Amino acid sequence: MDDLLTIVIPAYNEQASLEANLPVWLRACEDQGWQLIVVDDGSSDGTEQILRAHARHPRLQAFRQRANRGYGNALKAGLSRAVSPYVATMDADGQHQLADVARLLEAMQSRDADLVIGARVLNDASGLYRRAGKGLIRLIARMLFSVRIQDLNSGFKLYRTEIVQRLLPLCPGSMAFSDVVTLLHLNLALRVIEVPVETRSRQGGQSTINTMTALDTLQEIVNLLMWFKPLRIFLPAAAILLLLGVGWALPFLLAGRGMSGFALLLMLTGLLTAMLGLLAEQLAALRRVDLSDISARAIAPE
């Protein structure tokens, strides 16, 4: 079926990779009947010229953001323009293999998934520093959200277009997009699965991922936790303050010296924190996205 799937690729200063890979990607899209959307995120090299040279191809839609607005914003620009039932995202650096898209699509259709992640568990080409950072983020996400995803921030994903387009306003415009969009699917009780894929070494260009990227991702994860489950932050904080207050007060009470003013302050702060948590939970309930019209799908007759 033509136009079943669209591939969205954000590109920032990826001239070398696009020179080598764009013709290959376009031939594959022709063979499969897929569409390809490439978003130039304000590149300063020859990325725009390469896209302009292929712009007449019937399977390609090329867009350029006049300024570098970030990985997530480039993905949003492409994802919002997809009209096919399914949409995949992959990086422009040549690490992902287009042949794996068909595997992700088969897994989504056979297992009725809402998000399929191409998990880099077979041959992760990331360096030791980046793998350590991804491991830390994965650990924190597990602690806060109780998720069991191996490759939370993989840029190689397959979505149901209607669902991901509804979630775009909640996703950040930074590198944290990949982590947050996955956590959004999980917290909305949508079906998320992983398919192991191999990755190759970067083909030209330079990665923009650094320590600040990891810190931004952690901040966005905490923001998302406040959006969906604020009590997971407020209640432990309130309990700690109350316990500290009681622990501080007991020696004074047992010695007959009355109630400590600092203990009262700790306990009062704990109670106020608990009340703020309950208020935040009520506000979060009002903001949550309702996807029941999408997630409830009709049962086809045998």
Q: What is the pLDDT of residues 103-155, one digit of tens each?
A: 999 999 999 999 999 998 755 555 555 556 556 666 666 666 666 777 888 89
Helix axes 177-187, 128-145, angle to 10 degrees: 30
Structural domain ending residue among the three candidates 227, 249, 269: 227
Domain of residue 9: give its range. Answer: 5-227
pLDDT at 184: 87
Same domain for 102 and 134, yes or no, is yes
The band of 31, judged by pLDDT with boundaries at 50, 70 and 90, is: very high
Do the domain assignments include residue 33?
Answer: yes
Residues 122/196, Cβ–Cβ less than 8 Å: yes
Q: Are residues 27 and 125 in the same domain?
A: yes
| Residue where a domain stops, chosen among 204, 227, 250 | 227
79 Cβ neighbours under 8 A, 6+ residues apart: 8, 87, 89, 159, 161, 164, 165, 168
pLDDT at 302 over 80: no
Q: Mind listing the pLDDT tens digit for each residue in 227-265?
A: 777 888 899 999 999 999 999 999 988 888 888 899 999
Q: What is the percent of the chain where pLDDT is above 70?
A: 80
User: In the block, which residue shows the tokens 């948590």?
Assistant: 277
Judge if 34 and 177 occupy the same domain. Answer: yes
Same domain, 38 and 101: yes
Asked, for residue 301, whether it belongs to a domain, the answer is no
85, 161 contact by CB (below 8 A) = yes
Q: How far apart are CA 120 and CA 178, in angstroms?
A: 14
C-alpha 47/C-alpha 16 separation (Å) is 8
Helix (H, G, I), strand (E, B), or coil: what is residue 36?
strand
Q: Is residue 11 included in any domain, yes or no?
A: yes
Segment (H or E) for 270: helix 261-287
User: For residue 106, what is the domain's CATH number?
Assistant: 3.90.550.10
Q: What is the mean pLDDT of residues 42-57?
A: 94
Does the structure show a pLDDT above 80 at 93? Answer: yes
How many domains, in total, are found in the chain?
Answer: 2
Q: Do 52 and 144 reside in the same domain of the chain?
A: yes
Question: Which two tokens mark 116?
Answer: 């399929």
| Per-residue model confidence as pLDDT tens digits over 60-75 | 999 999 899 999 999 9
